[in-house]
């Protein structure tokens, strides 16, 4: 699927396949699974085949690449593209050829600002394309128009996955890395992953639960205030996405938390 999107931190989404398996608490009531089920099919679960979209759909980023001058003239920056919202880039059960083809499309469309998202950061070192790997002669070779977001919703996930993400940032030369702290499930202290010298996280996106079960668990704006304060202190970009998607969202975000910043590499 390739689509314009209502997600405020991106311009477009691109999904070369649909399907995934649940891997953590942020996957409860997975919104994408619900969208998939409403088509009358199922591509969710271990051992369940994923669905690859058409070749025409997979090539949609090339159309955006051709439109890049127009987009830049209109917006003063390149188009941001979020991938994947209907699966996970580093899903073990996706055909490796599908992933290689997709990452080849990402690499070739260098007028797009890719926001690649995963809940499986430990798979990145073994699943990223060989020609993106650092070498002794050339050093880091990661495409500089591609950043990485991971989802972290609890302190335990933060302590487990953010060190892996930062290790990837430094080893591969990823231009920016960030956290989707959504749907936030408890207070998380990010302070030891935020640094004024740019060596830590570059971005934190904060939000409550989206979807019809938005109020099925506690949610506290103080979790966002703490993350925003920690970002401000270290010069890290912070983005307040939503309180809950089924409420009149922007209307109830307190004015002093309505902060919507991007890392410099995405501006
Ligand atoms: S990783 Fe993402 S797409 Fe996959 S089950 Fe979890 S929330 Fe859904």
Q: Which residue has the tokens 């997979």?
A: 58
Distance (angstroms) between ligand 1 centre and the Cα of 71 equals 30
pLDDT digits (tens, 9 = 90+) for 180-236: 999 899 999 999 999 999 999 999 999 987 655 555 667 889 999 999 999 999 999
Dist CA 184 CA 166 (whole Å): 21
Q: Which residue lies with its CA nearest to atom 8 of ligand 1? A: 30
pLDDT for 69-83, tens place per residue?
999 999 999 999 999
pTM: 0.93
| CA torsion angle 59 60 65 67 (round to 10) | 140
Q: What pLDDT does 163 receive? A: 98
Query: Which residues face 147 on adjacent strands?
Result: 115
**Residue 1 above 90 pLDDT?**
no
Per-residue pLDDT tens for 84-118?
999 999 999 999 999 999 999 999 999 999 999 99
Distance (Å, whole) CA 78 – CA 231: 25
CB 29 within 8 A of CB 98: no
Predicted confidence (pLDDT) per residue in 153-177, tens digit: 999 999 999 999 999 999 999 999 9
Q: Which of 15, 19, 88, 207 to mutate to test the pocket of ligand 1 (most atoms within 8 A of CB)?
A: 88
- What local confidence, expressed as pLDDT, does residue 25 receive? 82
Nearest CA among 79, 2, 3, 95 for reference residue 43: 95
> Residue 252: CB partners within 8 Å, gap ≥ 6?
243
> Which amino acids bring their CB within 6 angstroms of ligand 1?
20, 22-23, 26-27, 30, 32-33, 87-88, 119
Domain ranges of the chain: 1-22+31-118, 150-267
Work out which ligand 1 atom sits closest to the CA atom of 87: 3
């Amino acid at each position: 699927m390739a689509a314009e999107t209502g997600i405020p931190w991106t311009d477009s989404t691109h999904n070369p396949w649909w399907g995934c398996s649940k891997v953590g608490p942020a996957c409860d009531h997975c919104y994408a699974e619900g969208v998939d089920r409403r088509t009358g099919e199922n591509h969710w679960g271990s051992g369940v085949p994923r669905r690859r979209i058409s070749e025409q759909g997979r090539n949609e980023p090339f159309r955006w690449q051709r439109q890049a001058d127009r987009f830049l003239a209109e917006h003063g920056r390149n188009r941001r593209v979020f991938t994947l919202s209907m699966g996970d880039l580093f899903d073990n059960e996706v055909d490796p050829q599908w992933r290689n083809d997709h990452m080849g499309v990402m690499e070739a469309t260098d007028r797009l600002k890719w926001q690649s998202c995963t809940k499986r950061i430990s798979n990145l070192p073994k699943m990223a394309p060989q020609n993106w790997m650092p070498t002794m002669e050339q050093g880091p070779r990661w495409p500089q128009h591609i950043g990485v977001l991971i989802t972290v919703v609890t302190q335990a996930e933060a302590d487990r996955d953010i060190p892996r993400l930062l290790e990837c940032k430094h080893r591969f030369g990823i231009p920016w890395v960030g956290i989707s702290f959504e749907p936030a499930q408890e207070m998380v202290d990010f302070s030891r992953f935020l640094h004024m010298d740019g060596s830590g996280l570059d971005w934190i996106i904060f939000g409550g639960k989206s979807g019809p079960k938005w109020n099925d668990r506690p949610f506290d704006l103080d979790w966002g205030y703490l993350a925003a304060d920690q970002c401000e202190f270290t010069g890290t970009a912070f983005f307040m996405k939503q309180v809950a998607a089924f409420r009149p969202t922007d209307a109830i975000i307190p004015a002093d938390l309505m902060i919507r910043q991007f890392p410099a590499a995405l501006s």
